[in-house]
Structure 1
Amino acid sequence: MRKRIVQRGKGYSPLPIKDGLNPTRARVPADFGPAPTAWDFVWHLISTQRHRHPDDGPAALQDRFASGSIVLADATPLSPHSILTPGTDVYFYRTPAPEEPVPYDIPVLYEDEDILVADKPPFMATMPRASHIVETATVRLRRATGIDELSPVHRLDRLTSGVLLFTKHRAVRGAYQTLFSQRRVHKTYQAIAAYGPFDTPLQWESRIEKSPGEIQGRLVDGPINAITTLGSVTPLSASEQNTFEAIHGPQPPLARYVLHPATGKTHQLRLHMWCAGVPILGDPVYPTILPAEDEDMTIPMHLLAKRIEFADPLSGQPRAFVSNGDWSQP
């Protein structure tokens, strides 16, 4: 059994993960006001939260203080009247707002002492963010497995499905993250789109930029930061065509595209497919941004992280994990 090493550094928190959720760390800004109390500061954070649970009011805040679950970095509990100074880190638990359940399971493809590999469905974000907190792969799997330290090594877009690698404890996380940051993972994706007679293999190289708050990314001039190889294009059979038309309505002749991204820019494959004239079937952003309120979780985007391959950083042995499905229907 490998010895577990717990270090106080990046990712440290004096509060444990609770019900699959990490505690929040908030730093008191210099311009917050003169000598704020812990109550004033934390209540400001809760009351201005964009996605706030309707029951998360003053009584719920008082319960946090009473239970000692609002603390400093050294785990000292704060009282409502504790005075805070600028630069102080405060830790507490937020209460997620209600979310629409994602109507798909998240099967486990493989698990050992160090890693867990899941088959992420569409409409499920990898990590908690914005309005998607509980209905995320990380939280759902933590709750299902009881492994609080479960953490993704890489990310898939919320609408993308397929192979997602997690570490089960912090001691090995960096080793697996380095595989992705150093591009030592061979990734194979499959996408469904209108048939285009491309000569393959074909490499798309571009510079992608996407600013915070922007829905669409864009191709711009400048040094290349996004590289995708189009490996093959295979027209769908008549029965496959009928399957996708039953979900999306009448379509032009469709094909399965095999894609190998060498880089991992946000929306890279979706942008490259769109700019090649074959946007991915079911994509609500490219070419047209559809209203978020019109989202229908029975109509997925057909981009699948089909396979990942790498040399294991701990054992040196070759690893390969393959998704089992295309998530056509919940």
Structure 2
Amino acid sequence: MGGARKGRQAEANAYVPLPIRDGVSPSYLWLTETQAGGMLHFLAGRFPDVPEAAWARRLARGEIVDAQGTPLMPDSPVRQGMRVWYYRELETPETPIPFRERVLFQDEHLLVADKPHFLPTIPTGRFLHETLLVRLKKQFDLPHLTPIHRLDRETAGVVICSHNPATRGAYQSMFQKRVVNKVYEALAGPIEGREFPFTYRSRMQDGEQFFVSTEVPGEPNSETLVELVERRGEVAHYRLHPHTGRKHQLRLHLAALGAPILNDAFYPVALPCKGDDFSAPLQLLARTVSFTDPLNGQPRRFDSSFRLDWPGA
């Protein structure tokens, strides 16, 4: 159904008519067309997975407001240009993720976290409170906290977050300009017929299944330097240096080289969802993030304290 863009967190320096609630920032919809039927009808159609009765309860509690903070009613008009603010809620309880993040560094600008496997970086899908961002907001009371980059839910390791809106752009620009050095480690099958280290390049695009990527013919748009650290029988320990940041780049590249990462449920073949099974973490770790601090010119380096799990160890 048209008529709105998906809600997203507002920039910290913009006026937000709803406060953070239990670590969760409000989201908003920016309406692109006028529609008949009233606000309840619109919301129920825009979010078909949420029961209409749930939207009615939120409206009755005054938890859905316009850009000025005025509570909206079920029959409030839906007009082009409106911004509708609301809290994202889950209709079913979240399963607790039994792994804890660690804080590696914090100053007046940054918070650097060490994310465990299985913990999403930000709220998405069926995850809201069981996410790195919401956990950290609750723990440190940092309303403006936001990740500057992200890791897949399945990947563990270093995540750089900003909590100072005044300096956030300087740190974000480092990632946009690709001047941040990121080093990953992985356990995977052996890669035969290659002399290490070597660089692998390919052209990647979204796959037919929205949650995976695929390789296609054409000019390469992804590049990874692959180093061999150690080999034990049919398992090898790799150090990976991504020179680009395509979705699932490292997972797809190793699978294409005939060495899928251990416990990868997406590559080379997407397997059925394991739900809340935490028994086999993907053996991929964002080991190190380093850069020259754009504010003071000092070198920064942050290393994950997590370790990969060798089979049988």
Question: The TM-score by the shorter chain falls in which range?
Answer: 0.7 to 0.9
User: Helix, strand or coil for the counterpart of 1:297?
Assistant: coil
Determine if contact 1:53/1:95 at 8 Å carries over to the other structure: no
Q: Closer, same or farther in 2 for the Cα pair 1:253/1:53, shift >3 Å?
A: farther
Q: Counterpart of 1:180?
A: 175
Q: Give, in whole Å, the separation in 2 of the partners of 1:6 and 1:191.
A: 36
Q: Give, in whole Å, the separation in 2 of the partners of 1:108 and 1:74.
A: 36
Q: Closer, same or farther in 2 for the Cα pair 1:183/1:153, shift >3 Å?
A: same
Q: Give, in whole Å, the separation in 1 of the partners of 2:73 and 2:55.
A: 17
User: Helix, strand or coil for the counterpart of 1:235?
Assistant: strand
Q: Give, in whole Å, the separation in 2 of the partners of 1:186 and 1:88.
A: 41
* TM-score computed with the length of structure 2 as normaliser: 0.87
Identity %: 38
Does residue 226 of structure 2 align to residue 230 of structure 1?
yes
Q: Closer, same or farther in 2 for the Cα pair 1:125/1:79, shift >3 Å?
A: same
Q: Counterpart of 1:18?
A: 21
Q: Counterpart of 1:245?
A: none
Shift of 1:76: 3.1
Shift of 1:306: 0.2
Shift of 1:293: 3.8
1:184-199 correspondence runs (5 A): 184-197=179-192, 198-199=194-195
Q: Give, in whole Å, the separation in 2 of the partners of 1:188 and 1:255.
A: 16
1:35-114 correspondence runs (5 A): 36-45=37-46, 48=48, 50=49, 52=50, 56=54, 58-63=56-61, 65=62, 69-97=63-91, 98-114=93-109
User: Helix, strand or coil for the counterpart of 1:83?
Assistant: coil
Q: Give, in whole Å, the separation in 1 of the partners of 2:269 and 2:209.
A: 17
Q: Counterpart of 2:284?
A: 303
Determine if contact 1:28/1:85 at 8 Å carries over to the other structure: yes
Does residue 294 of structure 2 align to residue 317 of structure 1?
no
Shift of 1:83: 2.3
Cα RMSD (Å): 2.5
Q: Which residue of 123, 126, 150 corresponds with 1:128?
A: 123
Q: Closer, same or farther in 2 for the Cα pair 1:145/1:213, shift >3 Å?
A: farther
Q: Deviations over 1:141-179 (max 9, x none)?
A: 111221121110001111011001101122222111111
User: Helix, strand or coil for the counterpart of 2:127?
Assistant: coil
1:159-308 correspondence runs (5 A): 159-197=154-192, 198-210=194-206, 214-236=210-232, 253-293=234-274, 296-308=277-289
Q: Give, in whole Å, the separation in 1 of the partners of 2:52 and 2:137.
A: 25
Q: Closer, same or farther in 2 for the Cα pair 1:141/1:235, shift >3 Å?
A: same
Determine if contact 1:190/1:305 at 8 Å carries over to the other structure: yes
Q: Deviations over 1:209-237 (max 9, x none)?
A: 0158523211112232111001234114x
Shift of 1:77: 3.1
Determine if contact 1:14/1:74 at 8 Å carries over to the other structure: yes
Determine if contact 1:209/1:217 at 8 Å carries over to the other structure: yes
Shift of 1:37: 2.5
- Range 154-163 or range 222-231, more displaced: 222-231
Unmatched runs of 5 consecutive residues or more in structure 2 = 1-10
Determine if contact 1:118/1:164 at 8 Å carries over to the other structure: yes
Q: Deviations over 1:177-204 (max 9, x none)?
A: 1111111111110000123353112001
User: Helix, strand or coil for the counterpart of 1:223?
Assistant: coil
Shift of 1:60: 4.0
**Larger RCO, structures 1/2 (Cα 8 Å, 6+ apart):** 1
Shift of 1:295: 5.4
Determine if contact 2:40/2:52 at 8 Å carries over to the other structure: no
Q: Deviations over 1:226-271 (max 9, x none)?
A: 11001234114xxxxxxxxxxxxxxx62111000001110000001
Q: Give, in whole Å, the separation in 1 of the partners of 2:146 and 2:107.
A: 14
Q: Give the paired residue count.
A: 298
Q: Counterpart of 2:8?
A: none
Equivalent position amino acid for 2:141 in 1: G
Shift of 1:78: 2.7
Unmatched runs of 5 consecutive residues or more in structure 1 = 237-251
Q: Give, in whole Å, the separation in 1 of the partners of 2:175 and 2:263.
A: 27
Q: Counterpart of 1:247?
A: none
Equivalent position amino acid for 1:177 in 2: Q
